[in-house]
């Protein structure tokens, strides 16, 4: 395929994924659109059950055919892969799109040696011989900072720690030099101490290789300084999308506000209770009319409960939000985030007034 194209690396247009179950239609991904350029990262943030993992699978077209309704378009390098046959899809999976999944303890086959799990992808897509594939795999293991890559090449997954295993899954995802990397909660299952290492590694590799990266997480703190843009998902929909700095300094959607308030603050005095969001995400079968966050929102009024807010443009560029009663002022993000992002903090009492 020639790389002469206009437009972004990935252009997702009104993507819908519904599952038909015995209880009714589950609207797991409902009219989601976003674009991603080569060399940039978009963070997709939401609680569990908000549809972020289904979104990542829908973007890859890696969902079962039976009982699933697909709609919308996914333009990857200008081609709509929703029209691809299985054979064509297998040609880009692993080769052009790499996936790093959530739990490195389960995402590696326990009875296949690590080397083989890397080389099988290389040999499948690049048709090179065994020795060359091994050489390539070892150099990839080196690039993910795997200690003793030659020895690890012939080890089994159970011989490695969680952090090292996640390096292996990253190596697998990168093996064929993909253009797009989808990292689905890559650090959720890891120790806190290892999380930052893995995220830094992903960011470094993404920059070095000029890949587009979709970083999916439930933790807004994780994506704060590692993404160019952040999309907040709630109940299958994107409810706010903005460049990272804009989102933290000028969020509009009440759900985003609640998410930011629930980030633990190291700077806060001890014994200050963490703010959590009351209630649970809605059932995706027969979602209520109106804003889907309304039942849990302190600011919801009659309109919120009856009329669904569309994605509206905020004053700054590339900032979309869906809220009838948007945040007027600013909620102060945690000091750690402020210092990492270099946002000018404002005084807290201004928010109290705005509410």
**Cβ 187 to another protein shortest distance, Å:** 15
In angstroms, the Cα distances linking 315 to 31, 33, 311 are 23, 20, 13
Under the binding rule (CB under 8 A), the answer on residue 335 touching another protein is no
Under the binding rule (CB under 8 A), the answer on residue 109 touching another protein is yes
- Binding pattern for the stretch 162-181 against another protein, x by CB under 8 A and - elsewhere: --x----x--xx-x------
Stretch that binds another protein, among 95-103, 216-224, 294-302, 319-327 (CB under 8 A): 95-103
Nearest to 33 by CA among 72, 6, 70, 79: 72
Residues 198, 173 contacting (CB under 8 angstroms): no
**Cβ 102 to another protein shortest distance, Å:** 7
Under the binding rule (CB under 8 A), the answer on residue 76 touching another protein is no
Distance CA 304, CA 36 (A): 31
Stretch that binds another protein, among 137-145, 154-162, 226-234, 274-282 (CB under 8 A): 154-162
Stretch that binds another protein, among 108-116, 215-223, 307-315, 318-326 (CB under 8 A): 108-116
**Cβ 108 to another protein shortest distance, Å:** 6
**Cβ 313 to another protein shortest distance, Å:** 35
**Cβ 36 to another protein shortest distance, Å:** 18
Under the binding rule (CB under 8 A), the answer on residue 20 touching another protein is no
Nearer to another protein, 193 or 267 (CB): 193
| Nearest 10 degrees: Cα torsion 303, 306, 310, 316 | 20
Stretch that binds another protein, among 98-106, 276-284, 314-322, 342-350 (CB under 8 A): 98-106
Tokens of 215: 């970083």
Distance CA 289, CA 304 (A): 9
Nearer to another protein, 212 or 221 (CB): 212
**Cβ 93 to another protein shortest distance, Å:** 4
Stretch that binds another protein, among 2-10, 92-100, 300-308, 347-355 (CB under 8 A): 92-100
Under the binding rule (CB under 8 A), the answer on residue 106 touching another protein is yes
Tokens of 173: 């995802």
Q: Of the candidates 110, 269, 273, 310, which one interacts with another protein according to CB under 8 A?
A: 110
Distance CA 302, CA 101 (A): 41
Under the binding rule (CB under 8 A), the answer on residue 58 touching another protein is no
Under the binding rule (CB under 8 A), the answer on residue 93 touching another protein is yes
Residues 179, 77 contacting (CB under 8 angstroms): yes
Which alpha helices (DSSP H) does 262-330 contain, by range?
Answer: 302-306
Phi, psi of 191 (to 5 degrees): -60, 150
Strand partners, 97: 93, 180
One-character DSSP codes across 88-146:
HHHHHBTTTEEEE-S-TTTSS-TTS-HHHHHHHHHHHHH---HHHHHHHHHHHHHHTT-
Angle between helices 130-143 and 162-174 (to 10 degrees): 120
Under the binding rule (CB under 8 A), the answer on residue 95 touching another protein is yes
Q: Of the candidates 101, 143, 244, 256, which one interacts with another protein according to CB under 8 A?
A: 101
Query: Which positions lie near another protein, rule CB under 8 A?
Result: 60, 62, 89-95, 97-99, 101-103, 106-112, 120-121, 124-125, 155-156, 158-161, 164, 169, 172-173, 175
């Amino acid at each position: 395929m020639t790389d002469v194209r206009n437009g972004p690396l990935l252009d997702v247009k009104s993507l819908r994924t519904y599952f038909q179950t015995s209880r009714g239609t589950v609207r797991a991904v409902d009219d989601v659109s976003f674009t991603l350029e080569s060399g940039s990262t978009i963070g997709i943030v939401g609680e569990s059950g908000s549809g972020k993992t289904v979104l990542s699978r829908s973007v890859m077209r890696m969902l079962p055919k039976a009982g699933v309704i697909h709609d919308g378009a996914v333009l990857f390098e200008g081609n709509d892969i929703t029209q691809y046959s299985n054979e064509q899809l297998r040609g880009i999976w692993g080769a052009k799109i790499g996936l790093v999944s959530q739990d490195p303890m389960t995402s590696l086959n326990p009875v296949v040696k690590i080397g083989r799990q890397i080389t099988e992808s290389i040999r499948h897509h690049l048709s090179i011989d065994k020795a060359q594939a091994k050489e390539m795999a070892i150099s990839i293991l080196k690039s993910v900072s795997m200690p003793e890559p030659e020895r690890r090449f012939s080890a089994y997954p159970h011989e490695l720690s969680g952090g090292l295993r996640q390096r292996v899954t990253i190596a697998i995802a990168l093996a064929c030099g993909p253009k797009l990397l989808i990292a689905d909660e890559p650090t959720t299952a890891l120790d806190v101490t290892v999380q930052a290492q893995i995220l830094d590694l992903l960011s470094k590799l993404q920059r070095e290789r000029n890949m587009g990266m979709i970083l999916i997480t439930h933790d807004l703190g994780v994506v704060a300084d590692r993404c160019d843009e952040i999309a907040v998902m709630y109940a299958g929909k994107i409810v706010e999308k903005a460049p990272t700095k804009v989102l933290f300094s000028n969020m509009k959607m009440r759900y985003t506000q609640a998410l930011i308030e629930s980030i633990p603050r190291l700077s806060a005095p001890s014994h200050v209770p963490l703010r959590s969001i009351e209630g649970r995400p809605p059932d995706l079968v027969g979602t209520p009319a109106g804003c889907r966050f309304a039942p849990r929102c302190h600011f919801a009024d009659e309109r919120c409960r009856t009329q669904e807010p569309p994605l509206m443009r905020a004053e700054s560029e590339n900032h979309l939000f869906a809220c009838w009663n948007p945040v007027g002022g600013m909620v102060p993000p945690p000091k750690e985030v402020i210092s990492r992002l270099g946002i000018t903090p404002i005084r807290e009492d201004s928010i109290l007034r705005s509410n």
